Amino acid sequence: MADGQWGNCKGCRYFGSHHPQPSSDEKSRCMQPELSDFELQVSGDSGCNAWEARTGVSGTVTPYHDPAPSIH
Ligand code: SF4
């Protein structure tokens, strides 16, 4: 599933919005095949590393990096 790209749901092809240009505060269902079983409701500003570009949207793609280990 993870292909190393991270992006916002509003620019993702799996964001279940009917709008051609979803907004940041719009909420919709995540239709990603491996995540759809969980019936996730996500906002346009949410995101994950299963992101794939939505047609017609020039989304910002950020390479995914694992979080740095916390220092105690
Ligand atoms: S949660 Fe991930 S796969 Fe689902 S719409 Fe958002 S970026 Fe796309």
Q: How confident is the model at residue 1 (pLDDT cuts 50, 70, 90)?
A: low
Domains of the chain by residue range: 1-56
Beta bridge partners, 15, equal 30
pLDDT at 70: 79
User: Is 45 within 8 Å of 24 (Cβ atoms)?
Assistant: yes
Q: Is residue 42 lining ligand 1, measured as CB closer than 6 Å?
A: yes
Per-residue pLDDT reduced to its tens digit, 14-54: 999 999 899 999 999 999 999 999 999 999 999 999 999 98
Beta bridge partners, 41, equal 29
pLDDT at 67: 73
Ligand 1 centre to CA of 69 (Å) is 25
Per-residue pLDDT reduced to its tens digit, 51-71: 999 887 655 566 566 777 777
Q: Is residue 54 lining ligand 1, measured as CB closer than 6 Å?
A: no
Beta bridge partners, 6, equal 62
User: Is 27 within 8 Å of 42 (Cβ atoms)?
Assistant: yes
